[in-house]
Chains A and B, each alone.
Chain A
Amino acid sequence: MSTRARHAFASASETERWVLALLGVVALLLIIGLLAGGIGPAYLLYLLGLSGMYILLSIGLNVQWGYAGLINFSVAAFFGLGAYGTAMLTASNTPLGLSLSPLVGLVVGIALAAVVAVLIAVPTLRLRADYLAIASLGLAEVIRIVIQNQRGLTNGNAGLRGLPLFYAEWPRLGGVVDRLPTVLIHEVTLGPVTLLGLRLGRSVWVGTLNLLVVVGLIAAVYLVVRRLHRSPWGRLLRTIRSDEDLARALGKRTYRRKMEAFVLGSVIMAIAGVYYAHLNLFVTPQNLAPINTFYVWVAVILGGAGSNRGAVFGGFMIIAIREGTRFLGDLLPQTSGVGIAFIDATYATVAANFAATRLLAVGLLIILVIRLRPEGLLPPESELIWPPAREGADE
């Protein structure tokens, strides 16, 4: 193992090791599931793609909350602006009648988000934290309502569809998903166990390429954000977060810095939105519903605010929760078999209305996590130590 990796492992905290181990186990299980035919490859790729989207959103929110201490409840709005920004230019049924490349859509989505971020930040950033939360939520709703009702621009409730894949117009990648053959991996029987027997068709190639796109986006964003975090700018933001008056007393222009963090975070969320538009190939005003903002917050809280690794972990967690509970419903037995009428009846209601039970489970999970580990699972620990200082100490 290289020096760096060995150092990282040694200095990893207890929790980090547990989390890594857990992720390792989950990854192993997924691979086994894939090979044994328990998990469809296209479905797994889709879930990973969605996780990637949530990771981007969490990183963006982390820049605002984790670094600068801004409580932003307009995540869904910026996500939507990115998605609509690109969709209005690339969808087949866009009222604007344009048909541009998704890369142009990306640029426009980012620009739109940046402009709106400034417009939202101006009245709200000087407010105290809770006001900022509610005001940002309110303004996000305004954006959603406008998008929903301005049919001439956005097609209203009917949504924008027929979006191209993100790489649809790239010189070589563009048509590759249509040209790649469908590969059948034959079943392999090892004793009692049947493995493989997979069909890798177009949806798998699309899923793979989409996954590569999001990994690329995450890597780029992660590097930029990490760089900024370690820069004087990042340090200043952390100071502002912990004690804004102190920062101001030191003569720092806190408002400007907060504004920059807000805009950066919003742009990252818009990038997630652009990716989503070209993953899902359809956008509707319901993509901007406030519940989506809450999901991203749950991801950040679970993962650990202020920490990018936490954001990555949180992104996976939220998908695991939302989609995993879908499977729980199938696993629960039909009756409780306890024999006491009240308990049986309650169990029957819970098992029969599993969707409502899932809402209950998510609510309880949020409460439990905050109760038992409020700093999240991977809070920034070593991330807060100035890297040169840490390296120096290890010598």
Chain B
Amino acid sequence: MTHPRPSRLDRRTVLQYAGLAGIVGLAGCTTEQAGGDDEADADAPAEDTGPDVYRIGMVNSLTGSLADFGTYNERGVALALEDVNAAGIDGVPLEIIVEDSESLPDAGVSAAQKLVNQDQVPLIIGAVGSGVSTSIYESVIRGTDVVQLSQNSTSASLTEYPGLLRMSPPGGPQVQALADLMAEDGIGSVAVAWVNNDFGQSQRDGFVDAWDGEVAYDSPHDQEQSSYASVVAEMANSGAEAWVFLTYQEQTAAMLDDAYSNAYEAAFYGSDSAKGPSVLEGTPSGALEGMKTIEPSAAIDQANYQDFASRFESAYGEAPTSWSSFAYDCVITAALSIATADGFTGAALGETVRDVTRTPGETVTTFSAAMDVLGDEGDASSIDYDGVSGPIDFDENGDPVGSFQVFEVVDDAYVSRGTRTV
């Protein structure tokens, strides 16, 4: 049964020589790059010719439990691209490659892998959901020069990553402001309903730390529960004077609707995610009367926001949510960063992305105004872009500045009750 060996040896030998030849050949065409362990991005074109389109990436929640935010983002992005590409970035159009995170960390990481390693973008806007954003940062971005700017993440954990920027202010100061407001309103005991994910957990932690009074109820609920009746019943039976909703609009609407159907009475408060058209539409008239929410102060008095809001309304038939504003500002900030950077690479963009949003620099509120100010000579410190979502002004942790606005529901509409800071 034994065969003579030579045939096997031949094949192996041939393979060995082939391999050797390959390596030698490859060695001839390769060079080492100085500063070896830096990961720069591939194919940065030479400065004089420049690319004919600037491509950045975006990880958005097109499907999954956060798909609604994905839609808000898409709208903000669409308006922003209109503004940027009206004249382009020095004539060069901006293009965004969008991938779906499915609202899950795994798929988000996959999406980011594709954008960073396949499409080789130097900047990604991503993602929706603090858990997804941090996963992407940890698995894909960390150790590279790619700039990551999250459009919708409010968990405190992002502050621990200076390299992960975000447009939505961290939830911490916001819930602190909320706790202060409630204390001023004379509330002694509170029931805290928080959504069981990174976002909700972070808001709850911040609130409970900031709250000096009694916490009569403190329980998470799932984002997609089949029934919130037991949550609401428990809150009602806890005897709390006020209910705080640290959750999304759909859950808030479902719970308040249930509270109405059960004739439960309490003072209602919420963070910015618990405010919006879905809450008003999803609850009967008068059910929310007096509910107060706090949100990052959108620049509602500014012309740029009003312009944005009216364009948004005529395009989509409803007022913009803060999420759309954040997405809009992400694109504008990215565009300004590209305009002032020395090259279309992650390292270069990383140098400018913060500075375009903060002082020193002339305050500008639209993309075209910014481009005018920059002219041919300006750099990142020539401008201070104040967006439709607020002054931005990234700090060293990549968090924007937050000042907050209080809203109260009066006759089934949100009425501003002024601003406050922490």
Whether chain A touches chain B in the assembled complex (some CB pair under 8 Å): yes
- Name A residues whose Cβ lies closer than 8 Å to a Cβ of B: 1-3, 39-43, 46-47, 50, 148-149, 151, 156-159, 161-163, 178-186, 188, 196-199, 201-203, 280-282, 284, 286-287, 289, 292, 322-323, 326, 353-356, 359, 395
B220: chain A residues at CB < 8 Å are 149
Q: How far does the Cβ of B41 sit from chain A's closest Cβ, in whole Å?
A: 8
Task: Verify B104–A286 contact, CB threshold 8 A.
Answer: yes
Decide if B100 touches A355 in the complex (CB within 8 Å).
Answer: yes
Measured between beta carbons, the chain A residues less than 8 angstroms from B119 are 40
Could you tell me the distance in whole angstroms from the C-beta of A26 to the nearest C-beta in chain B?
A: 17
A282 touches B139 (CB 8 A): yes
B33 near A184 with CB under 8 A, answer yes
Q: Which of B11, B33, B40, B106 has the most CB of A within 10 A?
A: B106
Question: Across the interface, do B113 and A46 meet the contact criterion of CB distance under 8 Å?
Answer: yes
Contacts of B31 in A (CB 8 A): 183-184, 186
**What residues of chain B lie closer than 8 Å to A202, measured between beta carbons?**
37, 39, 143
How many angstroms from the CA of A156 to the CA of B199 in the assembled complex?
A: 11
Contacts of B135 in A (CB 8 A): 159, 280, 282, 284
Chain A residues closer than 8 Å to B143, beta-carbon distance: 202-203
Judge whether B138 and A162 touch: CB under 8 Å: yes
Q: Which of A157, A186, A280 has the most CB of B within 10 A?
A: A157
17 contacts between A and B (CB under 8 A): A2-B7, A43-B114, A148-B196, A157-B131, A159-B198, A161-B138, A181-B36, A182-B37, A182-B40, A184-B33, A186-B30, A199-B42, A203-B39, A282-B109, A286-B105, A286-B131, A323-B110
**Contact indicator per residue, chain B 69-108, by CB within 8 Å of chain A (1) or not (0):** 0000000000000000000000000000001101011100
Determine if B30 and A178 form an interchain contact, defined as CB atoms under 8 angstroms apart: no
Assembly CA distance A199 to B345 (angstroms): 14
User: Are the CB atoms of A287 and B32 closer together than 8 Å?
Assistant: no
Asked if residues B106 and A286 are in contact (CB atoms below 8 Å), the reply is yes
B174 CB to nearest A CB, Å: 18
Q: Is the CB of A43 within 8 A of B157?
A: no
Known: A182-B32, A286-B104. A281 touches B139 (CB 8 A): yes
CA distance A120 to B30 in the complex (A): 55
Minimum CB–CB distance for B28 against chain A, Å: 9
Task: Give which listed residue, A39, A151, A163, A282, contacts B105 with CB less than 8 A.
Answer: A282
State in angstroms the CA–CA spacing of A364 and B172 once bound together: 45
The reply to whether A1 and B40 contact each other, CB–CB distance below 8 Å, is no
Once the chains are docked, how many angstroms separate the CA of A39 from the CA of B40?
A: 17
Given contacts A181-B36, A326-B99, contact A3 B114 (CB under 8 A): no
Q: Are A284 and B26 in contact (CB under 8 A)?
A: no
In the bound complex, residues from chain B placing their C-beta under 8 Å from that of A188 are 29
B155 interface contact, C-beta 8 A: yes
Interface size on B, residues (CB 8 A): 54
What residue of chain A has the Cβ atom nearest to residue B5's Cβ?
A: A2
B contact set with A: CB distance below 8 Å: 1, 3, 7-8, 11, 26, 29-33, 35-40, 42-43, 62-63, 99-100, 102, 104-106, 109-111, 113-114, 116-120, 131, 134-135, 138-139, 142-144, 155, 157, 196-198, 200-202, 220
CB distance from B165 to the nearest CB of A (A): 18
Say whether, besides A282-B105, A326-B111, A43 and B36 are in contact (CB < 8 Å): no
Least Cβ–Cβ distance between B124 and chain A, in angstroms: 14
Q: What separation, in Å, do the CA atoms of A178 and B118 have in the docked complex?
A: 22
Q: Chain A contacts of B42 at CB under 8 A? A: 40, 198-199
Please indicate the chain A residues that have their CB under 8 angstroms from the CB of B35 in the complex.
182
15 other A-B residue contacts (CB within 8 Å) besides A40-B120, A196-B29, A292-B106:
A39-B118, A40-B42, A43-B113, A43-B116, A43-B117, A149-B220, A156-B201, A158-B155, A182-B32, A185-B29, A199-B43, A202-B37, A281-B138, A282-B135, A354-B62
B-side binding surface: helix, strand, loop or mixed?
mixed
Residue of B nearest to A287 (CB): B106
Closest A residue by C-beta to B106? A287
Q: Give the 8 A-B CB pairs with smallest separation, nearest first.
A: A181-B36, A43-B117, A42-B117, A282-B138, A355-B63, A355-B62, A43-B118, A40-B117
B30 and A185 contact, CB distance less than 8 A: yes
Contacts of A323 in B (CB 8 A): 110, 114
- State whether B36 touches A180 (Cβ < 8 A): yes
**B70 vs chain A, min Cβ distance (A):** 9
Q: In the complex, A148→B114 CA distance in Å?
A: 28
CA of A312 to CA of B422 in the docked complex: distance in angstroms?
56
User: What is the CB-to-nearest-CB distance from B50 to chain A, in angstroms, rounded to a whole number?
Assistant: 18
Bound-state CA distance A46–B106 (Å) is 12
Known: A149-B220, A202-B37, A355-B102. A280 touches B109 (CB 8 A): yes
